[in-house]
């Protein structure tokens, strides 16, 4: 899947808002606000359940990495997530 298509599919899921569980949340981390070198995807099966997390790291911006974005789409699809949310911006790591 190409990068633009993957980013649009993720954005479309995020814009739908909360629609119940299972829920997937994306959080981006980096050393600067302009470059996210890490993404953490959290899966919550039901209300009150502990989140399961998976982390992807890259030397370049993960938001511009076609492979990572395609994997995120596959995870969202396979989990049959009803809700996809995203922490805005890039959280700075020390």
* 12: CATH: 3.30.720
Residue 71 per-residue DSSP state: H
Q: Report the predicted TM-score, pTM, of the whole model to 2 decimal places.
A: 0.91
Predicted pLDDT at 58:
94
In sequence order, which residues have a C-beta less than 8 Å from that of residue 25 and are 6 or more positions away?
41, 42, 44, 51, 84, 85, 86, 87
Nearest CA-CA partner of 53 in 32, 30, 79: 79
Domain count, the chain: 1
Tens digits of residue pLDDT in 41-90: 999 999 999 999 999 999 999 999 999 999 999 999 999 999 999 999 99
CA distance 64 to 77: 20
Predicted pLDDT at 43:
97
> Are 65 and 2 a contacting pair, CB within 8 Å?
no
Structure tokens at 28: 């981006």
Question: Could you list the residue range(s) of the whole structural domain that residue 81 is in?
Answer: 3-92
Predicted pLDDT at 45:
96
> Are 66 and 3 a contacting pair, CB within 8 Å?
yes
Predicted pLDDT at 88:
95
Predicted pLDDT at 1:
74
> Are 15 and 7 a contacting pair, CB within 8 Å?
no
Tens digits of residue pLDDT in 9-23: 999 999 999 999 999
């Amino acid at each position: 899947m190409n990068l633009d298509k993957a980013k649009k599919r993720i954005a479309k899921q995020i814009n739908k808002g909360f629609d119940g569980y299972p829920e997937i949340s994306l959080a981006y981390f980096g050393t600067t606000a302009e470059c996210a070198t890490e993404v953490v995807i959290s899966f919550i099966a039901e209300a009150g359940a502990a989140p399961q997390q998976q982390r992807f790291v890259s030397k370049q911006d993960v938001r511009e990495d076609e492979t990572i974005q395609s994997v995120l789409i596959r995870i969202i699809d396979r989990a049959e997530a009803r809700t996809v949310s995203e922490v805005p911006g890039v959280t700075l790591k020390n």
